[in-house]
């Protein structure tokens, strides 16, 4: 009875406030639809040293429609709740090669206390980061751009500017503070990094895909937390400074449960003829990865850099001496009138395990952009990627590939070089 009385009293006291808020909401702005988007036709001319592996990437030319997207953004505002801005966004990827073209759906609520976003959207590890891709033109260059559509990946090499374990557009909650004295912070909570949209709840999911260490399915994170802090400021002398720290931390699980006695994974082993050993344990190390990035701008010049440390994120606990890779990247650019020129470099290094040498990549990029009209530009991008790995690790991939349980795995690819020139245009509105 006491609880009922307390509840009734609380409801009675809250009714005038609710009525006031409802009245204020009526006086706000009716939500309005805004449409934006971009599309980029690109022509790639390339030469891969390893041409036939992984279904072949040695055709020599590639015409693609990249970065195609339309955003439907519904925005409203009310004086209630301290002046609340609210919105609904649906982002549609216009990729005719995909059957599911809805890339992002979320709602957002913003007032003087910060911004909350809920839905299938990027986390703070993505949109709060700064780095050399903000300096580069073209498609973003090397590990950040669209060269990944044409390069030939070498076995064991980390060729990515993302943190290992990144949830991308998995369903999540973001909170971002207001910016104060140039500083802003954010946190992301992703219950299940392999969940999207209205997928039903299962205790284990994401089966069927094969990973670098040949688990029966792709590992994913439970209760993943993303952190972001950045600083952005333009000083009186015109110097613009941007600095960011982003990190991911999650409980990593393997993608599916197998029967007792069934091999959980194949792990590289440098001490035997086949260079692999079947493992009966599927335990992997938790996601612990971070990145530090910066961009400085002054009188048309920009210079940016980033350091990524993926630790042992997602690595098998039974494998010794391995890690998920580190990335060092930088870029310098200059803009004048309607032109911009930039050069970038990225180096990735990853330990494959005890007894193996490191897998490495060195990627060089040069870009030129020219604006023809507001929202319309053309660009030219040149890339050269040199990848090295351990021959014993390549033999490991080759032997595991022969097992019928892993016939969908990538082919074994040894040291590989890729030269690629990209000519493209882009429309943004």
pLDDT tens digits for range 54-92: 666 667 889 999 999 999 999 999 988 889 999 999 999
Residue 282 scores a pLDDT above 80: no
Task: Give the helix/strand (H/E) hosting 391.
Answer: helix 391-401
Residue 10 scores a pLDDT above 50: no
Rounded to whole angstroms, how far apart are CA atoms 279 and 265?
A: 5
Residue 413 scores a pLDDT above 70: yes
Nearest to 33 by CA among 79, 73, 6: 73
Rounded to whole angstroms, how far apart are CA atoms 247 and 371?
A: 35
- Tell me the domain boundaries of the chain: 47-66+114-428
pLDDT at 149: 86
251 — pLDDT class (breaks 50, 70, 90): very high
Mean per-residue pLDDT over the chain, rounded:
86
Q: Which of 19-28, 186-195, 354-363 has the lowest mean pLDDT?
A: 19-28
Residue 16 scores a pLDDT above 80: no
163 and 246 Cβ atoms separated by less than 8 Å: yes
Q: What's the pTM?
A: 0.88
Residue 22 scores a pLDDT above 80: no
pLDDT at 98: 76
Please give the radius of gyration of the chain, using alpha carbons only, rounded to the nearest integer. Answer: 24
**Comparing 210 with 270, which gets the higher pLDDT?**
270
**Comparing 401 with 153, which gets the higher pLDDT?**
153
Residue 366 scores a pLDDT above 80: yes
Q: Which of 109-123, 194-208, 218-232, 373-387 has the lowest mean pLDDT?
A: 194-208
Q: What is the mean pLDDT of residues 35-61?
A: 84
Name the percent of the chain lying above pLDDT 70.
84
275 and 244 Cβ atoms separated by less than 8 Å: no
Q: CA 374 → CA 20, 207, 377, 428, 429, distances in Å? A: 45, 46, 8, 8, 9
Nearest to 307 by CA among 262, 347, 265, 251: 347
Residue given tokens 């097992």 in the structure block: 403
Nearest to 176 by CA among 233, 133, 226: 226
Residue 392 scores a pLDDT above 50: yes
Q: What is the mean pLDDT of residues 388-415?
A: 82
Q: Over the stretch 179-236, which tens digit does the pLDDT of each residue have?
A: 999 999 999 999 999 888 888 876 655 554 445 556 666 788 999 999 999 999 999 9
Q: Which fold has domain 47-66+114-428?
A: Porin (2.40.160)
pLDDT at 355: 94
pLDDT at 201: 76
pLDDT at 261: 56
411 — pLDDT class (breaks 50, 70, 90): confident
Name the percent of the chain lying above pLDDT 90.
62
Rounded to whole angstroms, how far apart are CA atoms 66 and 40?
A: 5
pLDDT at 292: 98
In this structure, what token pair is assigned to residue 132?
Answer: 């050399």
Q: What is the mean pLDDT of residues 295-319?
A: 95
pLDDT at 316: 87
Q: What is the mean pLDDT of residues 116-132?
A: 97
255 — pLDDT class (breaks 50, 70, 90): low
Q: Which of 158-162, 207-211, 366-370 has the lowest mean pLDDT?
A: 207-211
Residue 26 scores a pLDDT above 80: no
Q: What is the mean pLDDT of residues 147-152?
A: 87
Rounded to whole angstroms, how far apart are CA atoms 236 and 352?
A: 48
Q: Which of 202-206, 384-388, 415-419 has the lowest mean pLDDT?
A: 202-206
Residue 264 scores a pLDDT above 80: no
Q: Is 425 helix (H, G, I), strand (E, B) or coil?
A: strand
Rounded to whole angstroms, how far apart are CA atoms 240 and 237?
A: 9
Strands (E), 148-280: 171-176, 183-192, 220-234, 240-253, 265-268, 276-279
Q: What is the mean pLDDT of residues 156-181?
A: 95
């Amino acid at each position: 009875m006491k609880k009922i009385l307390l509840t009734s009293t609380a409801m009675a006291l809250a009714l005038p406030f609710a009525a006031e808020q409802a009245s204020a909401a009526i006086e706000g702005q009716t939500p309005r639809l805004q449409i934006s988007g971009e599309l980029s036709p690109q022509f790639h001319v390339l030469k891969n040293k390893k041409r036939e592996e992984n279904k072949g990437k040695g055709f020599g030319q590639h015409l693609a429609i990249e970065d195609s997207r339309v955003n439907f953004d519904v925005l409203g505002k009310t004086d209630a709740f301290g002046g609340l801005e609210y919105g609904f966004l649906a982002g549609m990827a216009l990729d005719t090669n995909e059957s599911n073209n809805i890339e992002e759906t979320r709602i957002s609520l913003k007032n003087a206390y910060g911004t909350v976003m809920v839905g299938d959207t990027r986390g703070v590890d993505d949109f709060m980061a700064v780095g050399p891709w903000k300096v580069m033109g073209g498609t973003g260059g090397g590990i950040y751009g669209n060269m990944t559509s044409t390069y030939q990946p070498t076995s064991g090499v980390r060729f990515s500017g993302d943190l290992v374990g990144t949830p991308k557009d998995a369903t999540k909650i973001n909170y971002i503070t207001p910016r104060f004295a140039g500083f802003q912070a954010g946190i992301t909570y992703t219950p299940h990094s392999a969940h999207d949209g209205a997928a039903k709840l299962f205790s284990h999911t994401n089966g069927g895909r094969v990973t670098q260490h040949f688990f029966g399915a792709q590992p994913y994170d439970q209760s993943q937390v993303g952190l972001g802090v950045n600083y952005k400021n333009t000083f009186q002398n015109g110097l613009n400074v941007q600095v960011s720290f982003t990190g991911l931390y999650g409980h990593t699980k393997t993608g599916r449960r197998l029967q007792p006695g069934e091999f959980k994974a194949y792990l590289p082993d440098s001490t035997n003829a086949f260079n692999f050993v079947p493992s009966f344990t599927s335990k992997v190390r938790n996601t612990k990865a971070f990145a530090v990035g910066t961009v400085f701008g002054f009188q048309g010049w920009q210079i940016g850099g980033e350091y990524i440390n993926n630790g042992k994120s997602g690595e098998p606990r039974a494998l010794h001496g391995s890690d998920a890779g580190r990335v060092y990247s930088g870029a310098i650019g200059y803009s004048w009138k309607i032109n911009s020129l930039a050069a970038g470099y990225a180096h990735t290094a990853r330990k494959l395990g005890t007894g193996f040498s490191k897998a490495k990549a060195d990627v060089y990029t040069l870009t030129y952009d020219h604006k023809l009209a507001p929202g319309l530009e053309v660009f030219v991008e040149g890339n050269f990627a040199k990848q090295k790995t351990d021959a014993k690790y390549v033999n490991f991939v080759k032997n595991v590939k022969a097992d019928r349980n892993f016939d969908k795995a990538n082919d074994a690819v040894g040291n590989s070089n890729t030269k690629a020139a990209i000519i493209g245009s882009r429309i943004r509105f």
